[in-house]
Amino acid sequence: MSGLARALSRWVAAARPRTLPLTVTPVVAGIALAVATTGELHLVTALATLLAAAAIQIGTNLHNDACDFVRGNDTPDRLGPPRAAAQGWFTPTQVKRAAHLAFFTAFVLGALLCLRGGWPILLLGLSALAAGYAYTGGPWPIAYGPFGEVFVLLFFGVAAVAGSHYLQTLDFSPTALALGTILGLPAAAVLLINNYRDLETDRRGGRLTLCHYLGREDARRLYAFLLLAPLPLLLLLPLPLQPWPLIVALPFAAWLVARLNQGALGTALNPQLAATALYQMALVALLMVGLALHGP
């Protein structure tokens, strides 16, 4: 492999492309809800929304990479995937510059979206950029306290769904807000299981997440709630929806809950983490099938 190809592959790994579905999925849900209720799709707006959301996620990932390394949290006993700064692929300064480039890209796309959505989108976009920076940056990083799951619910659920729906319809929708809250629950479960896996190493690095305060037993109970609660809540929403496709998700959720309760720890939880992210995607996909089957 040439030096250029190696560097490119490392930058791709540093961006953590496997996390992008967590960002893109709720945006797709908001767009799907808009199409189901209005029968219209603003394609350019939809594509710009997806790209802006992905750029914020990539910027957050890169900034997290550099900040965790500088804080000394990326130690050799880290259980997650390799990080660019910790591996010595790039310096923390280089990784931060790449993060700033991603954030700037999101800002430009967001400015274009403001031409359609106006000041609500401006406020939402600036909040998302600030949250991406503050996740591991600044004096009180979100990731180092107990509110990470709340952050995920708000930005990977409520903001992503309601914001993308608003950009399509230019209408504030209580249903979109409620749908975003519901879909934010399995997104929060992804972070919860990540922090559950890293509990001991996080504590040593001064990262006192929600799992630290709950303990493993209560964290497993919360995980079960975050996976199982969306199913009945979705059926209560006033959606043009055929409900039966969502029932398919129930055995998947129950299997994930039962699997976590078997007591796996450390790297043995990596498949659980991947499957939890897949569950969130599956839930949105099944929701879209239910919306499509209902028809106009």
Whether 77 has a pLDDT exceeding 70, the answer reads no
Pull the structure tokens for residue 102.
Answer: 């991603």
CA distance linking residue 160 with residue 129, whole number of Å: 13
Render pLDDT for 1-35 as a digit per residue (tens, 0 to 9).
567 888 888 898 888 888 898 999 999 999 999 99
Give the confidence band of 74 by pLDDT, cuts at 50, 70, 90. Answer: low
The CA angle 282-178-283, to the nearest 5 degrees, is 5
H/E run at residue 152: helix 148-153
Whether 138 has a pLDDT exceeding 80, the answer reads no
Give the domain ranges of the chain.
3-294
Q: Are 35 and 168 contacting, i.e. CB atoms less than 8 angstroms apart?
A: yes
Give the confidence band of 183 by pLDDT, cuts at 50, 70, 90. Answer: very high
Q: Would you state the pLDDT for residue 3?
A: 73
Residue partners of 156: CB distance under 8 A and separation at least 6: 22, 23, 26, 184, 187, 188
Give the confidence band of 189 by pLDDT, cuts at 50, 70, 90. Answer: very high
More confident residue, 162 or 266: 162
Find where tokens 């309760």 sit: 261
Give the confidence band of 99 by pLDDT, cuts at 50, 70, 90. Answer: very high
Whether 110 has a pLDDT exceeding 80, the answer reads yes
Whether 241 has a pLDDT exceeding 90, the answer reads no
Which has the closest alpha carbon to 294: 235, 218, 211? 235
Pull the structure tokens for residue 262.
Answer: 């078997």
Q: Would you state the pLDDT for residue 114?
A: 96
Q: Would you state the pLDDT for residue 88?
A: 85
Q: Mean pLDDT, the chain, as a whole number?
A: 91
Q: Are 73 and 207 contacting, i.e. CB atoms less than 8 angstroms apart?
A: yes
The CATH fold of domain 3-294: Farnesyl Diphosphate Synthase (1.10.600)
Pull the structure tokens for residue 8.
Answer: 């490119």
CA distance linking residue 199 with residue 217, whole number of Å: 13
